[in-house]
Structure 1
Amino acid sequence: MNIPKMPAAAMQRRLKAHLKRGGLAAYPTESCYGLGCLPTHAQALRRLIRLKKRPQHKGMIVIGADLPQLLPLLKRPSENTQTMLDQAWPAAKTFLLPAAGNVLPALRGKGRSKLAVRVPLHHGARALCHILKTPLVSTSCNCAGKRACKTEREVRRQFGGKVMIIGGRTLGQKAPSMIIDGETGRRLR
């Protein structure tokens, strides 16, 4: 069984302060390390996009410890949608759902009205959101066009001291999370 390394209390406080200042963090998820920040911090999102050299029209995935943690970022989902999500998660399944009006365009992607959200299968990633009491942006930890980082060592090689690293192992899944349109049920990835 893959037991995640959870940061000690002092590290948790340091991580919270780092993220509140607009810092970036890397942490293990199902298939690779995720690169994230607070989804409400515009400066951090711009920093993340620049660091990855990511096209600005692409949206980001946001992960949470559970559905209630993600709800402030979404338009109120129907009872049927909430039931579907409760039955689907935790899993390596990302759903595109209508974003709340206050969600930053850089998070949705330019010209897009939906937000990609997931309650990850990776216990450590869920626990991190629970400990921090906030959802996190979760994009693959790599520069655009490069292979995603699968280990802490690869994160250090690719990004050096530009991100705070939360160590641990991925679940070893080969493919990134499935992306499903939450309104139509159509699989997009």
Structure 2
Amino acid sequence: MNTKVWVVDKSVNKSHIYPQVKEAAEVLKQNELVAFPTETVYGLGANSTSDEAVKKIYEAKGRPSDNPLIIHISDIAEVEKFVTHIPETAKKLMETFWPGPLTIVLTKKSGVLSKVATANLSTVAIRMPEHPIALALIEASGLPIAAPSANISGKPSPTKFSHVEHDLTGKIAGIINGGDTGVGVESTVIDCTSEIPTILRPGGISKEAIEAIIGAVDVDQAVKQAVINPKSPGMKYKHYAPSATMYLVNGSKNYIQHLISQYQSEGKKVGVLTTEENASFYHADIINVCGKRSDLSTVAQRLYDTLRLFDQQHVDIILSEVFPPQGIGSAIMNRLMKAANHQIMTEK
């Protein structure tokens, strides 16, 4: 398949939609796939009302079909088309955080969206992205767009056009090149179908920010362990993983350096994921700096790009520092845990 590329500036908006975006929207209407930037990561979009279109997402990504997709909209008013009711907690969250990196799980109306998109669940995950290109594309298509991350399933999510180009060229109809994304990790997913809303996936909006608006929320145990029937993307399968074996290291810099030396003595090419503050301390084959420890938003922004960089550098072992699990740090640690397949080394 020939994959067309449209280069679009972020100055586009819903009231002034570029011809390139209109063309991409027409491709979506034909039930083909288009990758596009959001404020979190690049999404792989399809017409969420069409089984035919949505099945192409799973095929292109190699994604398990029991992993539900997020439905993207361009106006809060559209939510009523797809759900049976909107709880007050969900309304408050929409009013506060939309458009933005928050996905809300609600009870879906039957017969409106593709059952393939929702993995035959009784719920649907919906968000209104903040990125102007994403909003313009949804508006131009007139469709609710199902869109997981635009990468091969299990690999680090794409935050740059080059990531999408590498993974999906020849597999999808088109890619909108809108430059780098902003937040760097996916949206927070919160289930508002229960009496106490429950975070199913930490992301761009912190638990603390949510609780400031609607009070105490739960965090699903599935964030820490595998589940049988996931309500949210990213809950069941290994995600975000580089090719090399990866370990999170809960310990001092001296302990990490000890591990580096140990693996090097075994003939391994060792990479370290670290921050600007600590990078000069280590003596490894590859040292990749992933933002500032003093500003974890920079770590989130560069996390997936850094994980992909290790693949290009052909390391055998990756040792990653850990981060405080508060605020955006919760999302960072969630992604690192999945990337490392929950392998942690702790200093004794």
Alpha-carbon spacing, 1:171–1:154, altered in 2? closer, same or farther (3 Å): closer
Q: 2:83 aligns with which of 62, 74, 87?
A: 74
Q: Retained in 2: the 8 A contact 1:67–1:85?
A: yes
RCO greater where, 1 or 2, for CA within 8 Å and sep 6 or more? 1
TM-score calculated relative to the size of structure 2: 0.49
Alpha-carbon spacing, 1:155–1:178, altered in 2? closer, same or farther (3 Å): same
What do the CA deviations read for 1:55-109 (whole angstroms, capped 9, x no partner)? 1111100111111223212223245643442233112010111111012221111
2:142 is aligned to 133
The root-mean-square deviation of aligned C-alpha atoms, in Å, is: 2.0
Q: CA deviation at 1:141?
A: 0.7
Q: Retained in 1: the 8 A contact 2:87–2:192?
A: no
Verify: 1:96 aligned to 2:102, yes or no: no
TM-score calculated relative to the size of structure 1: 0.87
* Cα distance in structure 2, aligned partners of 1:83 and 1:177: 17
* Cα distance in structure 2, aligned partners of 1:182 and 1:44: 28
In structure 2, the gaps of 5 or more residues are 1-8, 202-348
Q: Which has the larger radius of gyration?
A: 2
Q: 1:151 aligns with which of 156, 160, 170?
A: 160
1:24 is aligned to 33
Q: What is the SS of the residue equivalent to 2:158?
A: coil
Verify: 1:177 aligned to 2:187, yes or no: yes
* Cα distance in structure 2, aligned partners of 1:187 and 1:78: 16
- AA at the equivalent of 2:57: L
What do the CA deviations read for 1:129-167 (whole angstroms, capped 9, x no partner)? 123222211210111111112222221221114231112
* Cα distance in structure 1, aligned partners of 2:57 and 2:125: 17
In percent, how many aligned pairs have the same letter? 25
Q: 2:177 aligns with which of 167, 173, 176?
A: 167
* Cα distance in structure 2, aligned partners of 1:123 and 1:153: 20
Q: State how many pairs are aligned.
A: 185
